[in-house]
Amino acid sequence: MLFAIGTRVKFRYTGETGAITAILDDGMLQVRLDSDPDFEIPAFEEDLLRNDQVEPLSAGARFVQGKAPKPPEAPPRRELRIQYQILKPKGLQLAFEPMPGRDGSVTRYKTWLLNDTTHEFLFEFDLFTQGRDVLTLDGKMNMTSAMEVGDILYDDLNEGLEAWIKVRRLTTAGPDEALERTQKIRPKQFFNNVHTVPILNLLAHHFVLLEKFDTSVKEEPAEDLKDYTKQHTRKPKPVTLTGSNPFASLNLEEAAGFEPEIDLHIDKLMSGYARIDKGEILRIQMVHFHKFLDKAIRLGAPRVFVIHGVGEGKLRETIADDLRRHPHVVKYKNEFHHKYGYGATEVIFE
C-alpha cells in the first residue's frame, strides 16, 4: 500500500491537500483536509497522490537520487476547550461521533474523551476487543475539554468492545491516588445511549466513565440502630500467606488464577501491528505493562516477570525507568534466566 496513516496527499482531480487519518475498507482512505481541519472525507486510493510523487521520467532523462523522505507523522489529535463552567458536570465521559459516508451510511465512529469538570487529570486510556487493542492514549486531560482519540469501525462493536481508563486527579498537593474503570460497550446499549454531549454539542453515543473523584473514604454518621450495625460490622481480616504480601480474602480466587508473567512482544498483544509505527507500538506495550503491574500489586503478588525481549532495548529501558520510580517496587533485575535468557526483567514488590 502506498499510503499509511499520517501520509500527506493531494487529490488527483481537485488539487486539494490533506493527511490520511484512517484506513477504511474496500480500498478507501479517510483524509483530513488542510483547508478545513475539522472536515474529513473518504476517498479511493486511485484518486489520491502522495505529496512526494512526481510524474514519470521521460525517455532519456537522467535519474538523480534524491534525499529519502521523512516518515510521515500522524495528524495531531484535536482538543476542544470551552472557557465557561458547566453547572451540572457529569465527569469523565466517552463519546462516539457517527461519521456518515457518501451514501449516508455510518461505518465508523470518531471517539472522544470528555471532561466537563473543573479538575485536570493524568490518564491512561485503552479501547480494546477480545483480540486486539483498537485505540490507546495517555496524557493530561484539561478541565472542560474534549480530546480526540481516533476512529473505530462499526464492526468493532460486534467484537466485545471494552473501554478501560485510569486517572489521577491533579491537585495543589500533587496527583491523587489512581482511579480505574472498565466499561463494556454492548451494541444494544451503544445504540440506545444517544445524547447531545457537552463541549462537542452534537448527538453522539455516550457513556459516563467516572463521576466521582474523591479517593478518601468518609463514614456517614449512623441515623438509627440498623445503620449503626451496618457501619460497625466487623470486616473480614486479610489472609496472609507466609513469605508474601497479604491477599484480601475476596481476591483469593482471582489471585489463584493470576499468571505472574506478561509477554509484551507486540504479536502477543494484538493483530494488525504491521501498520503501526514504533512509537505507537511502544505506547501499546506500556499500557499493557501498567495494567499488569497494577493488577499484580492489587493481588499482592510477591514478584513477577516482564518479558520484553532483547532487540534494540528501547522497551526494556522504558520499563526500567518506570520501575525505578515506582513506590511499590523494592528491586528489579534483568539477569540471565534459564527460561527467558536476558529477555525478561524480574520485579520484586515490597
C-alpha cell recorded at residue 20: 490520511
C-alpha cell recorded at residue 30: 479517510
Kindly report, residue by residue over 255-312, the tens digit of the pLDDT: 778 899 999 999 888 877 777 888 888 988 999 999 999 899 888 889 999 999 988 8
CB atoms within 10 A of CB 229: 10
CB atoms within 10 A of CB 24: 16
Dihedral sign for Cα 219, 220, 221, 223, please. negative
CA–CA separation, 275 and 300 (whole Å): 37
pLDDT at position 291 is: 92
Whether 79-210 and 258-349 share one fold: the answer is no
CA 130 to each of CA 143, 150, 190, 276, 308: distance values in angstroms, whole numbers, following the listed order: 32, 19, 18, 19, 22
pLDDT at position 37 is: 76
Of all residues in the chain, the percent with pLDDT exceeding 70 is 81
Looking at CATH, the fold of the domain delimited by 79-210 is given as Immunoglobulin-like (2.60.40)
Mean pLDDT, range 153-167, rounded to an integer: 91
> When comparing pLDDT for 293 and 74, which is higher?
293
C-alpha cell recorded at residue 57: 521520467
**Helix or strand (DSSP H, E) at 31:** strand 28-33
Looking at CATH, the fold of the domain delimited by 258-349 is given as Ribosomal Protein S8; Chain: A, domain 1 (3.30.1370)
CA 145 to each of CA 85, 99, 142, 239, 285: distance values in angstroms, whole numbers, following the listed order: 11, 21, 6, 44, 27
Q: At what angle do helices 314-325 and 278-299 cross, to 10 degrees?
A: 40
Mean pLDDT, range 247-259, rounded to an integer: 64
pLDDT at position 256 is: 74
CB atoms within 10 A of CB 334: 18
Nearest to 45 by CA among 67, 70, 26, 71: 26
pLDDT at position 55 is: 43
Q: Is residue 244 very low, low, confident or very high in pLDDT (cuts 50, 70, 90)?
A: very low
- Say which residues have a Cβ less than 8 Å from residue 310's Cβ, sequence separation at least 6: 316, 341, 342, 343
**Helix or strand (DSSP H, E) at 283:** helix 278-299
CA–CA separation, 174 and 85 (whole Å): 23
Give the domain ranges of the chain: 8-50, 79-210, 258-349
> When comparing pLDDT for 238 and 287, which is higher?
287
Q: Is residue 28 very low, low, confident or very high in pLDDT (cuts 50, 70, 90)?
A: confident
pLDDT at 232 over 60: no
- Say which residues have a Cβ less than 8 Å from residue 74's Cβ, sequence separation at least 6: 5, 6, 19, 21
